[in-house]
Structure formats: C-alpha cells, structure tokens
A and B are shown apart, each in its own frame.
Chain A
Amino acid sequence: MVTETDDSDSSGRIRIEDVVDDDIDDDAGESLVEGLDEKLNHLKRKIQGERVRSIQERFEVNKKKVDVHVTTPFSSNGGDDSDVFCTRMGKPLCKLTGFPHGVAERDYVPTKDVLSGSVRLPSAERIPPYTTWIFLDRHEFHSDVLNQNQRMVEDQSVVGRRQIYYDQHGGETLICSDSEEEPEPEEEKREYSEGEDCIIWLIGQEYGMGEEVQDALSQFLILDASEILERYNELKLKNQQNVEAFSDSGFKLGISLDKGLSAALDSFDNLFCRRCLVFDCRLHGCSQPLISASEKQPYWSDYEGDRNPCSKHCYLQAVREVPGGSSSFASKTEEKASEEGCSKADSFDNPHDPAGGVNLPVEKTNTGSNNLDSSSGIEQDNKTREKREATRLEDSSDLPNLSNKKQKTAVLDTKMPLVNTISRLEGDQGGKSETSEVNRDSGASLKELAEYIPDKTVHDGGSSSFKPEHGSGKGTMVIAEMSETSQPSTEWKPIEKDLYLKGVEMFGRNSCLIARNLLSGLKTCLDVSSYMRENEVSVIRRSSTPNLLLDEGRTDPGNEDDEVPPRTRLFRRKGKARKLKYSTKSAGHPSVWKRIAGGKNQSCKQYTPCGCLSMCGKDCPCLTNETCCEKYCGYADKFNVKWKQFSILYKFNPAVVFNTGARKVVKTVSEDVIVQRVNAEAGSVRALLLVENVIQMFAEIAGLGLARFISCGDGSLGEAPRRGEGQCGNMRLLLRQQQRILLGKSDVAGWGAFLKNSVSKNEYLGEYTGELISHREADKRGKIYDRANSSFLFDLNDQFVLDAQRKGDKLKFANHSAKPNCYAKVMFVAGDHRVGIFANERIEASEELFYDYRYGPDQAPAWARKPEGSSKKDDSSITHRRARKHQSH
C-alpha cells in the first residue's frame, strides 16, 4: 500500500516506510497512539508538501498560458479617423504637471483641479427599474424542491444560503440566513479530500480501526469518530471494487453491467413526468411518486409450438428434437392462451366499474384501434401498421408447422392493437423490424411450458442428456456448440438479471424474445431458458405480483447492496420539509404576497395523484386532502392510462359528484381504451418518444375535456365565467387563448401592463405564471423582495407560492389598485393550480390593468415589524463587513 515515491525535491516529503519502521520498532505496540500521532503528522506534512508541489506545478502550467495570451496581437490598425485622437494627444485641453522625482510620503501634495466637463452628453431617459426576467408560459417548478437528479436546473434556492441584501438608502444590510428559524437542513454529504482519504486509509490499514485510532484521527482531522469509521469502510469498499473492476474485463454496453437495471432506468423512472408525458418536466419536477399500477398488462401470449427457433442457440432447437413433446404442449398452451385471453378481457372490464355509476360499455376489441383511427396525427402510423399486419399475416400463413396460427394471431391483434403498435414503433425506430414479427408470433407464457416439459429443456449444459431421437447429427452439434458458447456466460450479472425480469414482464416467459430483445449479445436463448427454469419458483411468485417487480426487482438475490433509489431520498426530504414549523409563519404571511382574489384565507390544496386501485375509497389521499381525483390518479402512472375515446369524453355527461366537503371526481378517463403501457422498456426509449407524441395528443384532448367539465362543474372555486355556450376559463387557460398584453410605463408607478384590445367583463386576459416555490422559500425571498419594495409572490396553494420575480409573464407588471379592473383567480386546471387574470369590467383598448393584490390585513411591510429577537442579533454580528459600499453613513 505504501508506494515509494520519487524524493527528488520537496523537503516536506517523507518516505512512509521509514516512519512505519521506526514506530513499530520503538514503540512495539505499547503506546500505539503516540506512534500514531507522529505518523499522522508525517503523513500530514507529506500530503501538504505534495499539495504545495501540485499547486506550483499547476501554477507554472497556467503561467505559460498567460504568456501565450499576452502575446496575442492587439488591434492597433486605426483608420484615418483615429488621427483625430492623436492630434488631441498632442494638443490636450490642459496639462497638469507632475513631480517627476516623486513625492515622499509625508510631503504635501498640491492638488490640481481639472476643468469640469466641456462636452455635454444629451440626457437620456431612463426606464423603470426591473429585475431581468424570463418569459414563462407555464409555471415552473423551482429547483429547491427537486432532488439532485434534476440535472436541468441548478439549485438556486435561497433556503440554506446566506443572502446578503444591500440596502442602498440606509447603507444597511439585511442578511437572510437560515440560522434563525428552521432546523438545520439535512447535513450535506461531507466531501473528503484526497489527503484525508489517504490518511484514513493508510492509518486504517496500518493500525486497524480501533477506537483509539479513531479518536486520534478524529482529533487530527477534526471529524467525528463515527464519520471516520464510515469513511474508512467506504474506502475499503471502493478499493475492493476497484480490484474487482480490474479483474473483470466485462462486456461493455454503455452501461455498467454491475449496476442494476434500475440504475440504468433511473432516468426513466425519475426524470419522466407522468403527467405531462415529457422528460425533465419543469412543472412537476422529477422523482414523482410511482403510483402502483392497479392492474398488470397481461403477458404476451402465444403458444410455443409455432415458434420458430430464434437462432441456433435457441432452446427450441433442443426442444423440437423431442417428438410429441412440442405438439402436446402446443395444444395445451393454446387452451391456456385462450383462457388468458378471457382473463385479459376481464381485466379490461375492471376499470368499467368506476364510482359514481358511470358505466359506458365499450366494444373492447375495437376501441383501441378506433381510438387510434380517430386521431388524425397517428393515422399514418396506423395505416402502415395495417399494411404491415396484412403482409405479415400472409407471411405467417406460409410458415410450416402452424395449425390455427392465423386465427390466433388475428385475435391477438385485435386484443392488443396498441401493444403491437408500440412494438412496431420500436422495431421501426431501431431499424429491426424482425423484432416486432417475433413479438407477434410469440408471447406464450412459459409457465405452461415449464409444466409440460420439465425434463426436456436444456439443463446443466449437458448435451448428452439431450439425445435427438429422429433429428440429424446437426442437432447435437448445435447443442454441443450451445453448451460451449453458453459456458462463459452462465454468470448472471445484476443488470442481466434485471433485464431478464423486465423481459418476463414484457414478453412473458418467452426466452427467445427475452434473449433477443433485452439480452442480445449477453445471453443466448438457451441461457435464458435455463435461468428461467432455475428461478422458476421465484419468477412465478413475482409475476403474480407484478407491481413488486418494478419496485422490488432489485431485491433479487445477489443484488442487495444496491443503493436506495433516489426517489426514496426525495421522499425523505420532502417529508422532512413538511414537518418544519413554518406554518405559523405563513399563516401570518409576513411578506407582502399577492393573494387569491376570492379573499378566502384558506388556500387550496396541492393536488397529488392518489394511488388507489381501481376505485377510490374512503382512504383515498385525494379525498382526505380535499382535492379531486384526476386522470393522473391511481393506475395512471406507468402509462397504463386508460383513455376514453375522446368522442365519448365530449359527450360525457359530467356526472360528477362534487360534495363540498369531499370533492370527489370519478376517474373520468378510467373507463376505456388502452393507450398502452410502455413502461420501462429498457431498450425502447426511442420508441417511447414516438409513442409519447401519440399519447401527448390524447392527453391534450382528454385534458381539455376534463378541464372543461371540472371548471363548469365546480362552483367552489368561484363562479365559472360562463359566457353563452359554456366557454369556460379553463379552456382558454389550457389553450392559452389570452389577450395581447403590452408592457409600458405605468401611470402609477414603474412598469404597468396594458391591454391591446378592448375586452368585456369576465373575459380571460392571461395567466400569471412564475416559479413554483415552497412557502419556506417564499418566506425567505419575501424578506428580500420587501426590502426592494417589489414583490411578485403570489399564494397559490397550501404547498406552493408563485414567484414571478425572475420568470413570469407580462401580467406580473399589473399594479395594485383598490378599485381594480381585473381580478385574479386560482383555477384547477388538469391537476395543477394556475392563476388566471380576468376582466372585472369592460376594459377599453390600451387601458392599464390593475388588480387587487389582496394584501393580508396584518401585512405591514417587513421592515416595519420587529425582528425576532435573538436571530436578528445573530445576524447583525455577521453583518459587519462588506455590507457597505460607502464608509460613513
């Protein structure tokens, strides 16, 4: 572990061997700690010496760069015009003689006054002050609530940071530090420098990690002993891993095979917004809770017998050699498959029992394709799909060894139209259309297979146990080859296991498909099938509880040391944050926040999709939270979104029960057709994106319909501005049908918002957008904004405040008035709270807009209120220094 280093320079560096020898010889273990101290100091000196050297080296390297930069030629061409300047240099306005010999420090220096400006610069009109802001047509989630996985936005929260606000007029400084109120936010993970690591590691290796050593180290490094031990263990683990990684020159697939699949899927699970159907959603953020699916998409079912061997490594090659076997199980499987078809239909029926007694019978086998057909955007896809289907059906009929294949396929195709679409899309995208063909052909649950041919599958790589009875010698050869080639890959890496599990989830126990689609290049079909057999019991158990597969697939044996998934971390954080006692603070609303014009003091509740199974009961979080269930509730996650044919949605009678106490919306979108789940197919993100567009369209259409009926049905959110034929505000919000707002100098103060065209009463003008921040963050920012006397905070609901300071819409510049011509309203649009600005009266073109900010009754400006004792003192002690720009005030 101790490396002999080049001792060429550096006085501070000491060879460790010497030290070690000395210590051990002299102290002979009796006074371990003393020797330890010495060694620690040696090490420290060594590390510091190296640091000095490294700094000097880097400095020298950089110095060369500086010199290069300096030699870059500067422009000194100068046109004719510049002669004017030269002339002026020759004939200056005046000359102020200096003291060529210098002036001593004590000498009096006469001051020479300079003539004041001879050239007048015409005055330019200044514009009202503002902070640079970015136009936002949608709320944006502020990153302080996101976890580290959010790579888009850097953490810009003021919470947890010291904010120094400089008050120009008083020369006074306000420091908003966190030290005052809240409990310390979670301790950041300490970063260890290489030097510390080195010391901890070397000492640990040398002396072990006894308590004495820990104490000594903790004193030396000013750390907790426990932290040191922890770090030591981490280092140990790391070193081991390094060694392993060194010896294991594994397959490279872009992702490390040692990581679990969940790590690879992390971005999908965490960065994909299931409500907006986009990655890196800026509204809802990442790491949304995965709501457990209420039902499981049935496996691809097809039966085994018709399948062609996928490759020469296919286990079918082996199986086929056994006469009778395949035919017998083929017929059985067929039966099973049809049974499964029924159960599938049953499961389709499930969502048709929503609360509220809405029951719209839909022709199950057709809805999917109808749905697709009626959507213009994917018509093309659809056509190509049909075409392909036709050709493929022809193809398949040509295939030998098929009995009722054709019929079967037809049934399957109508059953799961979208499944096929998706797989086809995937195939198209990836440029390997054969994938989808195989998909179609296959899908037989291998459970049956396992039952029927327990002895006939290739097992233990033994070719001898597999004597082909009427096969040619070729079969044997193949098998022999197989067992050979499969030899090196019998080890299953975590990711392979995970991929396998996903495969089972997607294709059922079809080793051909799994091997080809997910484990191509890693495992052969034969490997998969034998692994499948080995794990049969557990797999069956798992597949019967498919939800667990997603979240607990990682508990697969040999995989326990996986990290906790990041989203759990977020939950923890969120949970903690909610416990903070700032509720009293926000109840008082110390800062000047704009509020809902409704004047209700109690704010709306943030909507979080519930995870109820097919029906919401009394325990539904939406119910207890007094929010409405939305289309995102329940099994809405993982793409198992069931969409109504949107024509139905439009005809849909809003038979919604809005009890004032417990507002409860039936899961409107629940009854219907499947837009397929595409969840978490490792390789098919591209396909996913394509599908996403399709779904997006549905989402928007359905969203519109939904918004429409919510707004019109909900009296509790304020009177819907219903004008004539049910044109309601939500629609306009969703469609962004807003009035043209102009930004100009206000007649009152600063900037103002003006209307371009005249509008009539209750007309929707636009949306007040901004960053979504937590109340805690808003408290902090409020303090700063109040100082600057401009605040763009807007109470949105119980969890969030809108801040339009840096991001927003022109409407943020509308000023406050006691007699406003507009009003603001928080609206519940497609699961999100949004603020719409409406006309209070008829407003003429180019009139300035005002609305009532509804400052709370106790909202004296922050600086007028008494500071909270100790904390303020605390602050002022830190204020001192660079706070002032000017020295005396």
Chain B
Amino acid sequence: MSKITLGNESLVGSLTPSNKKSYKLTNKIQEGKTPLYSVAFNFIDARYFTCFVSAGGNGINLYNCLEDGSISLLYAFADEDKEEEFNTASWACGVEGNPFVVAGGEKGIIRVIDVNNEKIHKSLVGHGDLVNEIRTQPLKPQLVLSASKDESVRLWNVETGICILIFAGTGGHRNEVISVDFHPSDKHRFVSCGMDTTIKIWSMKEFWTYVEKSFTWKDDPSKFPTKFVELPVFTASVHTDFVDCNRWVGDFILSKSDEILLWEPILKENSPGEGTSDVLLRYPIPNCNLWFIKFSCDLSLNYLSIGNEEGKIYVWDLKSCPPVLVTVLSHNQSKSVIRQTAMSTDGNTILAASEDGTIWRWDAINKEQAVTVEAQPPPILHQYRRREGKSQLK
C-alpha cells in the first residue's frame, strides 16, 4: 500500500450529483428467485449492441432492449445441473462471427454456448474452483480470460476450446481472482485483481505464438502445450481490501474495493516487475462494502455505473477531473444488492442485476439537452494520516 503523502494526494469526487444527465426507470423484469450476478451488453457486434445476457443460478438468458423501454427475451438457457450457479457471462464470437455466450460459475466449468444453434459449443474444463469473471478480448473475440478462485487466470480460445495460458504461480495471485480486463489497444496485456488485495498487470507477449497456435490446433485440446505465466509485469497494492472489479481506461486502471480508484501504473522500462502506482482520482461509493459488486462503463468510457447494497446506482462521469457524480438512480422498490450493472455501448441505457433476481432498466432522458453543469466545486484533496503501526490499518 503506497502511503499518501504530501504531493501524492488524489482528487476525490464529491457526492453531490451534477445531474448533467438523468435516467428514468423504464422496465423491471423478474427472472425467478435466484440472485443474478451478471448482466452484460454485447459490445462485439454492432448489430447486437442492444442485446444483453444475464446470468444467475443455473440460467443464462439473452434479451434485446427495444426502443420503447420494452425488453424481449431471445434465448433462455438452463444448465441441467441444478447445482450450477453462474457468476459471470460474456459475449464472444466464433471465427465466422457467429455469436457465442461464455459463462462460468460455481462448478468452475466454462460453458461456451453457440447461440444460433442453441447448444453447447464447448465446455472448458480446467479451473480448480469457481469462476468469478469472464472477459472477452474485443480485438479478437475468440479469446476469453477467466478469473477463478483457484488463484489463476486462464486464457482460452473458445473456438477451439483450448486453454492457452495459465497465469499463476510465483508472482501470481495469492487468493481468489475476482476480476480481469483486457487492455483496450494492447492485445498482449491485461489486468487482474482479487482477494489478495493486489492488482496485477500481465503480458502475454512472449507467449503470443501459443495464442496463434491455438487457432490452428487440430489435435485434442487437452494435448495443447498450455503454458504457465508466473510473473506479472507489475503488481500494485493500491487497495487494502478485496479488489473485486477492474477496468482499463486508456493506460490508467479503474479498480474497485470500497471505493473506485483511477490510478496510473508507472512501470520501469528496463526492470520488469518494478514500478509504482499513482492514485489520481477517487470515486467514493456509499454503502458498497460487500464484495462482488461490479461496475460497468459504456463503450466510449464516458460514464461509469455501479450499484450498491441498498439497490441504488451511482453514475460517475469518467471524462471529468476531478470526478463528477452524474446522478444517483434509486427506486423505493429496489432494495437488494445490485451485483452488476451494464451500460449500453452509447451509455443511454443502464441495466442493473439485483440479488433478488430482478433486472432494472433505466433509460437516459433529455439526451440532447444536457443541463448546464453547475459550477464545479473546488477539488478536494484526499489526505490520509500516516498510520502508526499495523493495527490501525483499517
């Protein structure tokens, strides 16, 4: 944990909403009674940008958001094994562009669903424990990363069902990995975080030949020479608690523990593994102390939305510095924990997957006439007292 000292402070967002943009509740649907842990818009194929997938219990549902606030159900899948509880689902696609949905959960088996044919394309076996998150490489949507409780992150080729790389070992995570995210432009790089409170940046550059090999592999996937990547490029300790969500924003990283931080990893060019992290901005989220509450951003990274324990949704402006809270979405019937939000690619629709099994849809109003931003409050610098002794550490 890097200490915050003079000249090292970060800018903290104020919790007074600017109301630059506002949203209205346009729909609420109930998917059984099992908690929903994941909801995600398609961001791979522009034709399907209005479609989203939800995962919870043993069910995976695909929906389409219509203009008028309606939601249409496209597909509904259910695992025959009632013990399965999906934690995460992500869109991907085959080499021919056919849509896949990749989901994983309690059993640790990653299911690749060929949506058009309504069947399992592959079941990826390998993780030693449950899967917490799956993310798709936007530049090469056949590649997915999975973060697991078995302390590893694995890179898979969903087309061929091959486990290409395993990121674990000497420099790996020391507890559950909860979140991963591909770098938006550097296809070799990704970031992972987890219960060991660290955030790690990994590179697969040296192993890229294996990634290419995985596309042409004709043999049994289990015979593929899967490689271990043991040393990350960089390990940051900017949080003191579980880190349960992280995303790249340019070359900065947004990571969430009990608050969301935007920080810059400063790597030393010549000595891999070394570097410093500089926390620039802080986005406080009230009542967000449970773990496994994940935020989401729109495709242009203009906004970030995150739910909390009380069923409220905080929308932050990612393009302003110091941080500006856009709005807080709340409804008196929304009382359960919102585990995951999903922002549509244009940022005009926010979906919230709640633990009571409901999905809430919020649509932006007054899209054109943005309210003039009120005079921005002066930046508040966040300062910590120097801690004395370990015991006072939060």
Contact = CB atoms under 8 A, between A and B. Distances in A.
Interface of A: 44, 47-48, 50-52, 55-56, 58-60, 62-70, 72, 74-79, 81-82, 84-86, 88-89, 92-103, 105-106, 108-124, 126-132, 134, 151-154, 156, 158, 162-166, 177-179, 184, 190-196, 198-199, 221-223, 806-807, 874, 878, 880-887
B151 A221 contact: no
Contact-residue size bin, chain B (C-beta under 8 Å from the other chain): 35 or more
B99 A82 contact: yes
A65 B99 CA distance: 29
Interface of B: 2-3, 5-11, 24-32, 43-48, 51, 58-61, 64, 66, 68-81, 84, 93, 96-99, 107-109, 111, 113, 115-116, 118-120, 123, 125, 128-129, 138-139, 141, 148, 150-152, 166, 168-172, 174-176, 184-185, 195-197, 228, 230-231, 235, 240-242, 244, 249-252, 257-258, 264, 271, 273, 280-281, 289-292, 299-301, 309, 319, 321, 330-333, 337, 355, 358, 361, 363, 365, 379, 381, 385-386, 389-391, 393-394
A121 B111 contact: yes
Given A48-B7, A81-B97, A99-B25, A114 B76 contact: yes
Contact of A55 (B10, B81, B108, B271): B10
A119 B331 contact: no
Contact of B250 (A65, A127, A152): A65
A123 B393 CA distance: 45
B241 A882 contact: yes
Contacts of A72: 138-139, 184-185
B6 A195 contact: yes
**In this complex, which of B66, B271, B358 has the most chain A Cβ atoms within 10 angstroms of its Cβ?**
B66
B235 A47 contact: no
A132 B152 contact: yes
A162 B184 CA distance: 32
B185 A154 contact: no
B250 A132 contact: no
Contact of A115 (B76, B118, B386): B76
B170 A59 contact: no
Contact of B185 (A68, A96, A127): A68
A19 to B, nearest CB: 17
A195 B7 contact: yes
Contacts of A55: 10-11, 280-281, 321
Contacts of A68: 185
A391 B331 CA distance: 95
A100 B26 contact: yes
A40 to B, nearest CB: 10
12 contacts: A51-B8, A55-B11, A65-B251, A69-B184, A74-B138, A75-B45, A102-B24, A106-B332, A109-B28, A132-B151, A179-B390, A807-B169
Contact of B241 (A44, A94, A118, A164): A164
A184 to B, nearest CB: 7
5 A-B pairs with the lowest CB-CB distances in the bound complex, closest first: A195-B7, A117-B78, A102-B24, A98-B69, A98-B27
Given A82-B98, A85-B115, A105-B331, A166 B195 contact: yes
B281 A59 contact: yes
B74 A88 contact: yes
B344 to A, nearest CB: 14
Contact of A99 (B3, B10, B69): B69
A702 to B, nearest CB: 30
B321 to A, nearest CB: 4
A109 B77 contact: no
Given A101-B24, A102-B26, 18 more contacts: A62-B252, A69-B185, A75-B44, A81-B97, A85-B99, A89-B64, A96-B29, A99-B69, A102-B24, A111-B28, A117-B78, A121-B79, A131-B129, A154-B231, A192-B5, A195-B7, A195-B8, A222-B386
A66 B231 contact: no
B174 A74 contact: no
Contact of A52 (B166, B235, B251, B379): B379
Contact of A117 (B59, B331, B390): B59
Given A119-B76, A121-B78, A109 B331 contact: yes
A109 B25 contact: yes
B74 A51 contact: no
Contact of B72 (A74, A94, A128): A94
B51 A89 contact: yes
| Interface hub of A78, A109, A132 (most chain B Cβ within 10 A) | A132
B45 A56 contact: no
A117 B76 contact: yes
Contact of B228 (A78, A134, A883): A134
Given A117-B78, A124-B125, A132 B172 contact: yes
B129 A162 contact: no
Contact of A81 (B2, B116, B242): B116
B330 A93 contact: no
A184 B390 contact: yes
B129 A129 contact: yes
A330 to B, nearest CB: 51
Contact of A92 (B74, B123, B196, B231): B74
A405 to B, nearest CB: 49
Contacts of A127: 108, 125, 128
A89 B116 CA distance: 11
Contacts of A162: 197, 240, 390, 393
B75 A75 contact: no
A89 B81 CA distance: 28
B391 A874 contact: yes
A881 B81 contact: no
A817 to B, nearest CB: 23
A715 B322 CA distance: 73
A177 B80 CA distance: 42
Contact of A56 (B138, B168, B321): B321
A75 B79 contact: no
Contacts of A50: 7
A131 B194 CA distance: 14
A94 B73 contact: yes
Contacts of A96: 27, 29, 70-73
A193 B7 contact: yes
Nearest to B390: A179
Contacts of B252: 62
A472 B81 CA distance: 102
Contacts of A86: 47
Contacts of B84: 123
Contacts of A156: 170-171, 174
Given A79-B97, A106-B332, A98 B151 contact: no
B281 A108 contact: no
A118 B292 CA distance: 28
A118 B251 contact: no
A100 B363 CA distance: 9
Contacts of B96: 79, 81-82
A87 B197 CA distance: 45
Contacts of A81: 96-98, 116
A117 B152 CA distance: 31
Contacts of A70: 184, 299-301
Contacts of A192: 5
Contacts of B309: 887
A88 B30 CA distance: 21
Contact of A885 (B120, B291, B321): B291
Contacts of B264: 58, 62
Contact of A75 (B60, B80, B97, B195): B97
Nearest to B331: A105
A516 B38 CA distance: 70
Contact of B151 (A94, A101, A131): A131
B3 A198 contact: no
Contact of B76 (A62, A67, A116, A164): A116
Contacts of B172: 132, 806
Nearest to B171: A154
Contact of B107 (A124, A153, A158, A163): A124
A885 B30 contact: no
Contacts of B197: 162, 164
